[in-house]
Amino acid sequence: MQTYKYRAIAQDGTSVNGVIEAYDEFEAVNEIRKTYSVVEYIKPVSKGRRVNVDINEPLWVSNKTLAITANQFYIMLRAGLTMTRTIELIAEQCDDKLMKRYLRACASDVAAGYSLADSLDKHGKKIPAVFIETVRAGEESGTLEQSFHSLEVYYTRANKTRKKVKSALTYPIIVLVLAVIVIAIVMVVLVPRMTETLTSMGVDLPWITRALIAISNFMANWWYVILIVIAAVALGLYLFGKSEKGKMAYSRLRLKLPVLGKIARYNAAAQVANTLSTLLAAGLPMTRAIDIVSRVVDLRCVGKELNECIVNIEGGMSLGESLKSSKYLPAMLIEMITVGEASGTLEETLRTIGEFYNDEAVTASDAALGLMEPMITIILGVVVGFIVIAIYVPMFSMSAGIGGGI
C-alpha cells in the first residue's frame, strides 16, 4: 500500500490536510471523496531512506524460503483459511526477514480486495517471476492450492540441487584461496629474509633463485598496484557482466569451459524443464510460460533462444520444432519435449527430464571435483617445488663450497 498526503475541501468549505493509504492514486481519491466533496491536491509520500537498516536481512529470498512458504500456503488454504488470514499467519512465523516484510505488505493489499499475485508483483522485488506468475495463474484458473503445491515441489528440488552443486565446488575454491594467501605471505615475508641471508654470505645465486627474488621484490614493492589492478579488472568484468552483451558473452563462455561447461548445460536444461513444467501445470499458456522461463533461466544465451521461439509458437509451430536448431540445450531435452507434445504428456515429460538433468548436474559436479583435486595438487606442487628449489639450491652450493674448503 502507498501512503498519500492530500488537501481537500470539507462540506462547510474549510480546507483539510491529511494522509491516506491506498493501492494507487485513483483509489486514494475515491476514498477521500467519500468524506470530502473536493480533492484539491494529492501526492505520494516519499518513503525516504530507511534509518533502521537490519544488516542481517538477506539480499534475496532463498529457494528454501520459497519452498517453505509455498507449502504453508498449500496447507492453510486446504484447511479453509481465508487468504488474508493465511498471509498474516505465514508472515508471523516466517524466519526470513525479507519474505516477512513482503507478506506483511501483501496482507493489507489482499484485505483491500487485491489479488495476491498483484501484491507480490508490487512489493516482492526479490521474489522470482516464476513464483509470482504461478500464483497469478492459480488465482485466474481457480487452482491456487495446486499451484502452491507445484511451487513447493519445484523450489524444494531446486534448493537440493543447488546445495549439492555448491558443496561439491566449495572445497577446491577454499583450497585455492588458502594456497594463494600462503604463497603470497611466503613471497612477501619469507623470501626477502632468505635473500638478505644469502646476499650477506656472498653466494653466487643460480637463475632460479634470481627469478624467485625478482618476483618477491616485485610483489613486496608493488603489492598495492597488484591489488588495484586486480580490483580494477574484477570491477570491469563485473560491470561488463551487467550489460546485455556481457551476459551473453559470459553465458556462452560458461558453456565452453571444460568440465564446468557440462555442469552449466545440465543446470540450464534442468531449470528450463522444471520451470516450464511448473508453469504449464499452473495453467499458463505456452507462450506466456516460455516468456517467463526465458527471463529467469541463468544462461542468457539460452533465454534468448527460448524468447525467439515465441514467434514460431504463435505461428503454429510446436516448442520441440522451434528448439530443433538450439545451440545450447541438450538434444535429448529437445527430443523429449517433442515426444511429450506429440503424446499430450508434456508436463509429466518435462518433470521427468528435469529430475534427470538435476541428477546429471550433481553427478557432473562430483566428477569435476574428482578432476579438480589432483589438478590443484599438481599446480600447488609445481609452485611450492619452484620456491623450495630456488631457496635450497644456493644453500647446497654453499655447503658444497664449505665442504670442499675443508
How many other C-beta atoms lie within 10 A of the C-beta of residue 174?
10
Burial class from Cβ neighbours inside 10 Å (0-12, 13-18, 19+) for residue 148 reads buried
User: Considering only CA atoms, which of 2, 156, 147 is closest in space to residue 83?
Assistant: 147
Domain total of the chain: 3
Q: Do 267 and 339 have their domain in common?
A: yes
Pure H helices in 142-222: 144-185, 191-200, 207-221
CB-CB neighbours of 267 under 10 Å: 24
For 295, counting Cβ atoms within 10 Å of its Cβ (0-12 exposed, 13-18 middle, 19+ buried), the class is: middle
Residues 266 and 326 in one domain: yes
Confidence tier at 399 by pLDDT (50, 70, 90): low
Q: Which domain range does residue 116 map to? A: 63-156
Highest averaged pLDDT of the listed ranges 99-113, 341-355, 367-381: 341-355
- Please give the pLDDT value at position 380: 82
> Is 57 inside any structural domain?
no
More confident residue, 376 or 77: 77
Are residues 191 and 148 located together in one domain of the fold? no
Confidence of residue 55 (pLDDT cuts 50, 70, 90): very low
The angle at the Cα of 143, spanning 63 to 131, to the nearest 5 degrees, equals 20
Q: Is 53 inside a domain boundary? A: no
Q: Are residues 69 and 141 in the same domain?
A: yes
In this prediction the pTM is 0.68
Whether 52 maps to a domain, the answer reads no
**Residue bearing the bigger pLDDT, 46 or 369:** 369
- pLDDT per residue over 257-270, tens digit each? 887 888 889 989 98
Find the CATH number of the domain harbouring 124. 1.20.81.30
Does the pLDDT value for residue 45 go beyond 80? no
CA atoms within 13 A on the CB side of 190: 11
pLDDT tens per residue across span 264-308: 899 899 889 988 998 888 888 899 889 888 888 888 999 999 988
- Classify residue 281: in a domain, yes or no: yes
Q: Does residue 258 share a domain with residue 353?
A: yes
pLDDT at res. 194:
76
The pLDDT of residue 232 is above 90: yes
Residues 122 and 249 in one domain: no
Place of cell 511448473: 278
Residue 174 lies in a domain: no
